[in-house]
Amino acid sequence: MERTPLGFLLIALGGFAGAVARHGVDVAVGDATGVGTLLVNVLGSFALGVLLTRAASHRTRLFVGTGALSSFTTYSTFVGDAVTLGTAAGAAYVAASYAAGFAAAAAGLSVGGRL
């Protein structure tokens, strides 16, 4: 982990970009049913898979992975969506999210040449 002012700045800038992109997805899909959360988590899983295999530098991983993707994807909203949906629908949403997320991460790793 790079504990320098530049490292912190890269994470902060990436976090800003990821949070704005996350909000943009919600606005675009009108996220009342958790579709936006599922979409960003699957896209983020794929992007992380690619990043882990293709990142040219540690600083790229800080900006994109630790900063942007961690702000773009969201566990807290995921849990809130699952609870709001109720027990049966929430459980199905959690199962679908994990299945799609793992599949997307594997696809990203494959695209990156690691699988």
What does the pLDDT look like over 64-112, one tens digit per residue?
A: 999 999 999 987 778 888 888 999 999 999 999 999 999 999 999 999 9
What global pTM score does this model have?
Answer: 0.81
Q: Give the Cβ contact number of residue 42 at 10 Å.
A: 21
Contact 115, 106 (CB under 8 A): yes
pLDDT tens by residue, 13-72: 999 999 999 999 989 998 667 788 889 999 999 999 999 899 889 999 999 999 999 999
Q: What is the pLDDT of residue 35?
A: 86
Q: What is the pLDDT of residue 31?
A: 67
Contact 72, 22 (CB under 8 A): yes
Q: Which domain holds residue 105?
A: 5-112
| Total structural domains within the chain | 1
Cα–Cα separations (whole angstroms), residue 77 to 2, 24, 61, 101: 28, 15, 24, 15
